[in-house]
């Protein structure tokens, strides 16, 4: 699968706004990869993702674990000499991967994001206890971390009840496409 | 406190964010208490919503833009908006900057939120308040100098900025500087700006544990007696995902500020910590 020029444009355009993220400026200095704290959990280094994008390579990029493992901590782009907004490129790639229906590199992470946004849509706030429960239900892995969950409840780090935004319609309208 | 930040009689609109409002009560409380002590009045932003954090960004760019926009639209004209969570701060600041430079987006903002976009809204982080903290305020309020407690200041990813905020000022060293004025002793160490793994703590705990252990290990190696964070998420991850036998306690920055200023509300906060900081505080004669 090759990314069409239209799709490349999509990735090029900053998904947050109109400003462009130009990965063609990348000259492989690898500063981003050296800085990334989660490199070990990635199958393709961030600088290599930029290179592959320059070549229009679609499938391996969209199927990679990297685009999901990236948490958007900005450590890489903060020191990139070309000021390439790498986390925003990753945002665009994740959404392109979902759109194209390719096999998701890290389904657990996508599952987490989905539960998180469900909660925000429902309450306007993130209700962590429910997010964790739903995440684990979907993963069919209710018992991993159960000890930790109990400790967090005992330490009151997880609120039992969600706090809901009063004007919930305005939140719902955000998620209405 | 010098009133050089534009604010009516030291009043700030306050956005705690979900992490502080829910799992980090001790962080939230200590920020309130600290501000009270130095004469800053915080008014929680009425009906604020989650900024969408990294999840909206990851899978729904439209929500990622609109969720912070709603909060911005709720801000009262003329009051600076104080954001406690570093990650929410970046989301709100970036959104504000994007709107500033995009007339079409401003028009859409106006239609959706039925309100003009406030170009001059000041969105500030808790650290911006601290830059105003001078020796006179310290001399006036400090009742318990921190007795040379050795700390590793852990900023996590909050020193890093996306390109759109490249020109923003950095707060490198502010925790060291402030706590030093309060009688604590900073150690020099490497991992002060390594990201804690945020939500990977749920979806990939093993990845978070590895990073958190490196952070804890390095802090101990540099002979710190405690870690100090300014982010509720970092605080949580350091506590719940560290698997090392030897661990030192973690404080939220404002908790230590409160101790030095003699705020006695703190007993409730420390019960919520997974690694009990009380023995260390006792040893230093601070509780
Ligand atoms: S730091 Fe920037 S220029 Fe260097 S390899 Fe990474 S993306 Fe390319
Ligand atoms: S933003 Fe992503 S790629 Fe960059 S350092 Fe952080 S996790 Fe690594």
Q: How far apart are CA B63 and CA A16, in angstroms?
A: 10
pLDDT above 80 for A98: yes
User: Looking at residue A17, what is its pLDDT?
Assistant: 65
| Rg (alpha carbons) of chain A, rounded to whole number | 19
Confidence band for A176, pLDDT divided at 50, 70 and 90? confident
Q: Which of A37, A65, A70, A83 is the pocket-test mutation for ligand 2 (most atoms within 8 Å of CB)?
A: A70
Coil, strand or helix: which one is B80? coil
Q: Which of A32-36, A130-134, B69-73 is predicted with the least confidence, judged by mean pLDDT?
A: A130-134
- Cβ contacts of A72 on chain B, cutoff 8 Å: 54, 57-58
Q: How far apart are CA B170 and CA B8, in angstroms?
A: 25
User: Looking at residue B6, what is its pLDDT?
Assistant: 47
Helix boundaries (H) for chain B? 17-21, 25-37, 53-59, 61-74, 86-100, 103-113, 126-130, 135-141, 174-181, 200-203, 205-221, 232-240, 253-260, 267-270, 278-283
Of A126, A145, A174, the CB nearest to B66: A174
CA pseudo-torsion sign B177, B30, B128, B227: positive
Those residues whose C-beta lies under 8 Å from the C-beta of residue A92, and which sit 6 or more positions away, are A10, A11, A13, A15, A21, B61
CA distance B140 to chain A (A): 34
pLDDT above 70 for A154: no
User: Looking at residue B29, what is its pLDDT?
Assistant: 85
Are A86 and A80 in contact, with CB atoms under 8 Å apart? yes
User: Looking at residue A105, what is its pLDDT?
Assistant: 96
| A135-152: average pLDDT | 72
User: Looking at residue A5, what is its pLDDT?
Assistant: 83
Strand order in the sheet with B11-15: B41-44, B11-15, B81-83, B123-125
Q: How far apart are CA B178 and CA B141, in angstroms?
A: 13
Residue nearest to atom 8 of ligand 1 (CA): A26
User: Looking at residue A28, what is its pLDDT?
Assistant: 97
The answer to whether B54 contacts A157, with C-beta atoms less than 8 Å apart, is: no
Those residues whose C-beta lies under 8 Å from the C-beta of residue A34, and which sit 6 or more positions away, are none
Take residue B81 and report the two structure tokens written for it. Answer: 């908006």
Residue A95 forms contact with B (CB below 8 Å): yes
Residue nearest to atom 5 of ligand 2 (CA): A36
Distances (CA, A) of B272 to A158, B31, B53, B196, B264: 11, 16, 24, 20, 16
Q: What is B116-143 written as a DSSP string?
A: ---TT--EEEHHHHHTT--HHHHHHH-S
User: Looking at residue A113, what is its pLDDT?
Assistant: 93
A75 CA distance to ligand 2 middle (Å): 6
Q: Which one of the ligands is nearest to A54 CA?
A: 1
Helix boundaries (H) for A36-101? 46-54, 59-63, 66-69, 75-79, 86-100
Report B:198-257 residues touching A (Cβ under 8 A).
Answer: 198-200, 202-205, 207, 210-211, 236, 240
Residue B70 forms contact with A (CB below 8 Å): yes
Nearest to B98 by CA among B115, B117, B81: B117
Residue nearest to atom 4 of ligand 2 (CA): A76
Q: What percent of chain A has pLDDT over 70?
A: 87
User: Looking at residue B195, what is its pLDDT?
Assistant: 96
CA pseudo-torsion sign A112, B236, B132, B172: negative
Confidence band for A22, pLDDT divided at 50, 70 and 90? confident
The answer to whether A124 contacts B199, with C-beta atoms less than 8 Å apart, is: no
B110 CA distance to ligand 2 middle (Å): 34
Beta bridge partners of B42: B12
Take residue A80 and report the two structure tokens written for it. Answer: 């990139």
The answer to whether A75 contacts B160, with C-beta atoms less than 8 Å apart, is: yes
Confidence band for A143, pLDDT divided at 50, 70 and 90? low
Q: What is the pLDDT of chain A when averaged over all its residues? A: 87
User: Looking at residue A158, what is its pLDDT?
Assistant: 65
Confidence band for A137, pLDDT divided at 50, 70 and 90? confident
User: Looking at residue B56, what is its pLDDT?
Assistant: 93
User: Looking at residue B4, what is its pLDDT?
Assistant: 42
Confidence band for A39, pLDDT divided at 50, 70 and 90? very high
pLDDT in tens, A162-175: 778 888 999 999 99
Q: How far apart are CA A131 and CA A133, in angstroms?
A: 6
pTM of structure: 0.92
The interface pTM score, or ipTM, of the predicted complex is 0.92
B200 CA distance to ligand 2 middle (Å): 12
Q: How far apart are CA A30 and CA B5, in angstroms?
A: 40
A105: number of Cβ within 10 Å: 22
Residue B85 forms contact with A (CB below 8 Å): no
Take residue A61 and report the two structure tokens written for it. Answer: 């990029």
Q: How far apart are CA B66 and CA B214, in angstroms?
A: 36
Closest CA in chain B for residue A131:
B202
Burial of B5 (0-12, 13-18, 19+ CB in 10 A): middle
CA distance B174 to chain A (A): 19
Report A:141-160 residues touching B (Cβ under 8 A).
Answer: 145, 148, 151-152, 155-159
User: Looking at residue A18, what is its pLDDT?
Assistant: 60
Residues of chain B with pLDDT under 70: 1-8, 21-24
Residues framing ligand 2 (Cβ under 6 A): A 35-36, 38, 46, 70-76, 86-87; B 195
Q: Which H or E element spans position A12? A: helix A5-12
User: Looking at residue B28, what is its pLDDT?
Assistant: 82
Which string of b and e fits A44-79 if b means at least 16 CB within 10 Å? Answer: bbbbbbbbbbeeeebebbbbbbbbbbbbbbbbbbbe
Residue nearest to atom 7 of ligand 2 (CA): A70
The answer to whether A155 contacts B271, with C-beta atoms less than 8 Å apart, is: yes
**Chain B contact probe: residue of A11, A46, A78 with most B CBs at under 10 A:** A78
């Amino acid at each position: 699968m090759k990314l069409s020029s239209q799709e490349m444009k999509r990735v090029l355009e900053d998904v947050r706004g109109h400003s462009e993220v130009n990965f063609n400026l990348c000259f492989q200095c690898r500063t981003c990869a050296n800085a990334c704290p989660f490199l070990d959990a990635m199958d393709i280094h961030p600088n290599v993702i930029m290179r592959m994008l320059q070549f229009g390579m679609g499938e391996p990029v969209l199927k990679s674990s990297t685009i999901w493992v990236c948490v958007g901590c900005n450590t890489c782009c903060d020191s990139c000499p070309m000021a390439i907004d790498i986390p925003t490129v990753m945002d665009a790639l994740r959404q392109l991967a979902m759109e194209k229906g390719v096999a998701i590199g890290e389904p657990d992470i996508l599952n987490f994001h989905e539960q998180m946004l469900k909660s925000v849509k429902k309450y306007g706030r993130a209700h962590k206890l429910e997010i964790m429960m739903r995440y684990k239900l979907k993963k069919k892995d209710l018992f991993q971390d159960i000890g930790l969950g109990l400790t967090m409840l005992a330490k009151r780090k997880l609120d039992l009840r969600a706090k809901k935004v009063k004007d919930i319609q305005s939140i719902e309208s955000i998620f209405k496409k | 406190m010098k009133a050089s930040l534009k604010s009516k009689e030291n009043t700030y609109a306050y956005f705690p964010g979900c992490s502080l409002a829910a799992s980090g009560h001790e962080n939230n409380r200590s920020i309130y208490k600290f501000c009270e002590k130095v004469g800053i009045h915080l008014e929680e932003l009425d009906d604020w919503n989650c900024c969408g954090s990294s999840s909206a960004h990851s899978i729904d760019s439209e929500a990622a833009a609109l969720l912070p926009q709603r909060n911005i639209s709720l801000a009262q004209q003329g009051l600076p908006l104080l954001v406690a969570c570093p990650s929410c701060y970046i989301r709100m600041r970036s959104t504000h900057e994007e709107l500033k430079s995009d007339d079409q987006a401003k028009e859409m903002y106006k239609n959706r939120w039925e309100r003009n976009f406030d170009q001059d809204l000041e969105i500030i982080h808790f650290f911006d308040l601290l830059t105003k903290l001078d020796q006179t305020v310290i001399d006036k309020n400090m009742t318990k100098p921190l007795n040379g407690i050795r700390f590793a200041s852990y900023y996590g990813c909050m020193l890093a900025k996306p390109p759109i905020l490249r020109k923003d000022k950095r707060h490198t060293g502010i925790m060291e500087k402030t706590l030093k004025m309060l009688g604590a002793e900073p150690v020099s160490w490497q991992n002060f700006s390594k990201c804690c793994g945020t939500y990977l703590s749920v979806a990939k705990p093993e990845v978070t544990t590895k990073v958190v252990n490196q952070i804890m290990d390095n802090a101990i190696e540099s002979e710190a007696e405690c870690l100090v964070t300014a982010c509720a998420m970092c605080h949580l991850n350091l506590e719940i995902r560290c698997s090392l036998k030897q661990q030192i306690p973690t404080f939220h920055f404002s908790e230590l500020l409160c101790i030095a200023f003699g705020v006695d509300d703190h007993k409730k906060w420390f019960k919520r910590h997974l690694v009990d900081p009380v023995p260390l505080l006792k040893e230093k004669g601070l509780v």
